[in-house]
Structure 1
Amino acid sequence: MPQRVIVDVDTGIDDSLALVFLLASPDAEILGIASTAGNVGVDRVAANNLGWLDLCRAPDIEVAVGSTLPLVIPLVTTEDTHGPHGIGYAELPPSARPLSTRSASDMWVDLARKHPGDAVGLVTGPLTNLALALRKEPALPQLLKRLVIMGGAFNYAGNTKPTTEWNISVDPEAAKIVFDAFSAAPADRRPIVCSLDITETIEMKSEHLERLARRAGSVPAETISVDEDATVRSRASNPLIRQLSDAVRFYMEFHRDHDQGFLSHMHDPFAAAVALDPSLVRTKPATVDVELTGTLTRGMTVADLAGMWGREPNVDIASQTDPAAFFDLLIERVGSFAGELYPPNSEDAS
């Protein structure tokens, strides 16, 4: 049976690829998609989610809108990283699909109650929606089969402030609520946290996009060069490959411009893969808390690995993986999916 998944995203370039990966995975059934404010505003996030569902010719999947703001602080978005619409250079037409009539937090609660012990939660954006859902249903840690979070940094430099990862920094109060609440999760259902320590080893490069296009049977051969002008766009015949390539190209340029190399860190697709198959990572149990009052460290995720606080572990931190194996999986699934949706000789592949 496919793994049922509740997805919470702030779409986002790497969130986009995470969604496509799940849609391409025969072992995944997306129960609902919660849109959260983060990379861009929540309405834009929801529009992006609907647009990717259209492009992937997905069945009817509920897309719910979450809070427009974090719990306490003003919203800060990151268009410089993900583009003005959150999806880089990709251009998705407006969707005719309707948005859900229930809020993202209500959707979390309703789906978890409907599928007790069976649904995996995946959060690749700020934890605002899940924190609000926990206020409505404190039993969520017992109702979910598992939770996978992309967020945090442990003994590792942040990507927003010196010690702070982006998703946590957008809404630190929400993150603390979630980590505190999941202290009540059974030991075999502790959340898996995919932090920067591991997700920044998941480096997507030009050759990965080229392999993805080949797998889909797209022509001409996809090439992306660090020397190309910023106005260059993909000429891939496969529409899904073309949009993904243009999205990721923007992300690669951002990393290049910040002296990280011509690559893109695929934080969120990696977390999506872990949600379906936890054996992709080795983990370390830890007690994690979130700093809310530090002058220099607000939003920092602090991990007690040695039991110094005298509190039981509330998460398992992903610590080791095989990036090459992950990219093999991603390319096989998404490339094959794109080729099946838009066969090379079809009218749509143009």
Structure 2
Amino acid sequence: MVISVPQPVFVDVDTGVDDAMALVYLFGSPDLELVGIASTAGNVPVQQVCQNNLGLLELCRIEEVPVSKGAEQPVSSPLRTAEDTHGPQGLGYATLPRTNRELTPYDAAQAWIKAAHAHPGELIAVATGPLTNLALAMREEPALPTLMRRLVIMGGAFEYRGNTTPVAEWNISVDPEAAQEVFSSWPAAWGSDRPRYLPIVLGLNLTEHIAMTPALLGRLAAEADSPTLPMSERDERGTRSSATNPLIRVLEDAMRFYFEFHFDQNEGYLAHLHDPLAAAVALDPGIVATRPATVDVELTGTLTRGMTIADWPGRWGREPNALIGIDVDPEAFFDRFIERVGGFARTLA
């Protein structure tokens, strides 16, 4: 009989709505051990991100997962946040329980390093916010990439429009210097040798295929044995969930705000689950098709700052530093997401 050992997973998030969905997906995944959560300023200020992460752990009754506070600002530019997209506290209309849980005495950059040294060659890492903490960690420990087994980054847009500027994706545009630092230093981590692995980068060209809808959210509630009234763009703004399950209620209240935002952007009454896809790929890279390329970030362009560029034909003459996601099966993803999160929610009823 084969005994499966849980995989150590470390996440760096700027918890917002879709980061919260990613965390819940990980909470409901029995094939991992969540060894740390780094909080990054992005969707909301880092202090609020910390509170969201601690509150989600309290809601989901998850014990002994350290949460660390990251830098309050990007490495060299002012912070921009996205309360218009995610709500004043980052989770739409949702309210999390109060908690006495505390942050670690060390910061998020140290948390990256500690997790990697504690699980050398085994750690799977997921970054779903700006790459500020990771860049700072790599400054302190340049060998950090060699200590990880896998890294999945949600960020960028490859031959695709941006969602922050016409060409830039949110996570990269908040701290483009940090992103450029991470991408440019990756192959050098192994000296002159070819890297043993490349980070998997999931841009908007891929993640915008993962569209949550009211029908899918209804399936999730049913899987959790907590059916609720279906949502619609005709509902009064801010209508609260009728779910009896505490997790489904929080997710529906968060997602309603996200649906309303996307609807106001003329994208339909739906929401793109960028970050849960990154969480799923971290555990099973085979659910997406990828293509190697050298990725760089534009820092100085008047109109193109934060744009991610992939040198598909290799004209720069540089080693590939990323595996870029190019194809995914949304139906297969949502089947997995609903099964895991719905099943986990049942345990909290």
Question: How far off its partner does 1:223 sit?
Answer: 1.2
Take 1:184 and 1:285, find their aligned partners in 2: how far apart are those partners? 16
Take 1:286 and 1:84, find their aligned partners in 2: how far apart are those partners? 37
Take 1:270 and 1:222, find their aligned partners in 2: how far apart are those partners? 26
Q: What are the ranges of 5 or more consecutive residues in structure 1 without an aligned counterpart?
A: 343-350
Indicate the residue corresponding to 1:347 in structure 2: none
Indicate the residue corresponding to 1:240 in structure 2: 247
Kindly report which structure 2 residues correspond to 1:10-49, keeping only aligned pairs within 5 A, or say none.
Answer: 10-49=14-53
Take 1:144 and 1:187, find their aligned partners in 2: how far apart are those partners? 12
Question: How far off its partner does 1:251 sit?
Answer: 0.3
Take 2:98 and 2:30, find their aligned partners in 1: how far apart are those partners? 27
After superposition, the C-alpha distances for 1:15-55 in whole angstroms (9 at most, x for unaligned) are 00000000000012111000000000000000000000011
| Contact kept in structure 1, 2:28 and 2:341, CA below 8 Å | yes
| Contact kept in structure 1, 2:246 and 2:348, CA below 8 Å | no
Kindly report which structure 2 residues correspond to 1:105-184, keeping only aligned pairs within 5 A, or say none.
Answer: 105-184=109-188
| Contact kept in structure 1, 2:58 and 2:97, CA below 8 Å | no
Bigger CA drift: 143-152 or 222-231?
222-231
| Contact kept in structure 2, 1:117 and 1:144, CA below 8 Å | yes
Take 1:231 and 1:141, find their aligned partners in 2: how far apart are those partners? 43
After superposition, the C-alpha distances for 1:118-173 in whole angstroms (9 at most, x for unaligned) are 00110000000000000100001111111100000011000000110000000000
TM-score, with length taken from structure 1: 0.96
Indicate the residue corresponding to 2:303 in structure 1: 296
Percent sequence identity is 59
Take 2:7 and 2:275, find their aligned partners in 1: how far apart are those partners? 18
After superposition, the C-alpha distances for 1:286-321 in whole angstroms (9 at most, x for unaligned) are 000011111110111110011100001000001111
Take 1:14 and 1:189, find their aligned partners in 2: how far apart are those partners? 27
Indicate the residue corresponding to 1:260 in structure 2: 267
Take 1:57 and 1:184, find their aligned partners in 2: how far apart are those partners? 41
Kindly report which structure 2 residues correspond to 1:1-350, keeping only aligned pairs within 5 A, or say none.
Answer: 1-184=5-188, 186-219=194-227, 221-342=228-349
Question: How far off its partner does 1:92 sit?
Answer: 0.8
| Contact kept in structure 1, 2:42 and 2:81, CA below 8 Å | yes
- 2:199 partner amino acid: P
Take 2:52 and 2:173, find their aligned partners in 1: how far apart are those partners? 22
| Contact kept in structure 1, 2:238 and 2:256, CA below 8 Å | no
Take 1:188 and 1:338, find their aligned partners in 2: how far apart are those partners? 37
| Contact kept in structure 1, 2:135 and 2:179, CA below 8 Å | yes
Take 1:182 and 1:24, find their aligned partners in 2: how far apart are those partners? 31
Query: SS where residue 341 of structure 1 aligns?
Result: coil
- 1:48 partner amino acid: N
Question: How far off its partner does 1:95 sit?
Answer: 1.5
Question: How far off its partner does 1:187 sit?
Answer: 4.1
After superposition, the C-alpha distances for 1:96-127 in whole angstroms (9 at most, x for unaligned) are 11111000000101111121110011000000
| Contact kept in structure 2, 1:292 and 1:299, CA below 8 Å | yes
Query: SS where residue 189 of structure 1 aligns?
Result: coil
Residues paired across the two proteins, number:
341
Question: How far off its partner does 1:222 sit?
Answer: 3.5
TM-score, with length taken from structure 2: 0.96
Q: What are the ranges of 5 or more consecutive residues in structure 2 without an aligned counterpart?
A: none
| Contact kept in structure 2, 1:2 and 1:29, CA below 8 Å | yes
| Contact kept in structure 2, 1:151 and 1:165, CA below 8 Å | yes
